[in-house]
Amino acid sequence: MNVRAVLMVCSTHVRQQQQRRGAVATHYDRTRFPKGGIVSTGYEQQLEEALAQYQRRRTELAEFQRDAAGVSATVTAPRKVVSVTIGNAGVVKEIKFPTAAFKNLSGPELAKVLVTTIEDARAQALDKVADLLAPMLPPGLDPRQVVRGSADLEKVMPADPVDLTGAAVSNPPAH
């Protein structure tokens, strides 16, 4: 269903509600759609704007998803003992031993260097994803905390929403 069809359905629904309540008919503006469509200057315009914003956000999300899929980070340990590449989801993509320096380490030392290098590469990959995500987030959310799962979402989406006047909005009881 295209935007015009959605608006027409919504327009019909709004008119029906107005007729049931005995509301005065809404003034219609036939200039909004040159093909003769009828669009109210009230609710339908708000719906049209909301749908346009939805399409923009959807496009942004698709671009983010495409760009995030290509993220990777490579870190090389000191003395070039090991080099690790991590993908966008924190998955190890490649481990290389660029020199023979690893041969001079004991098993536990090599394991420690490997874990540290993987952690550093994973942090860099997450930071790159966070940088891509940042423009899409509302103010108050740290993108690095969001991608690491430690963001306090209660700050921007509280369980008890607040209306524009600052008064708490309570949900009416279910009937």
More confident residue, 175 or 58: 58
- Per-residue pLDDT at 74: 97
Buried b (16+ CB within 10 A) or exposed e, 14-23: bbeebeeeee
Q: What is the pTM of this model?
A: 0.63
- In which band, very low, low, confident or very high, does the pLDDT at 139 lie, cut at 50, 70 and 90? confident
By mean pLDDT, which of 14-18, 42-46, 94-98, 154-158 is the weakest? 14-18
- Per-residue pLDDT at 25: 45
Rounded Cα gap, residues 90 and 69, in angstroms: 11
Q: What angle do CA 136, 142, 143 make, to 5 degrees?
A: 50
Q: Residue 156 is which amino acid?
A: V
- Per-residue pLDDT at 163: 54
**pLDDT tens digits along 106-135:** 999 999 999 999 999 999 999 999 999 999
Domains by residue range for the chain, with CATH: 3-68 (no CATH), 71-135 (3.30.1310.10)
User: With the C-alpha atoms ordered 31, 36, 42, 48, is the resulting torsion angle positive or negative?
Assistant: negative
**pLDDT tens digits along 34-57:** 555 555 567 788 888 888 899 998
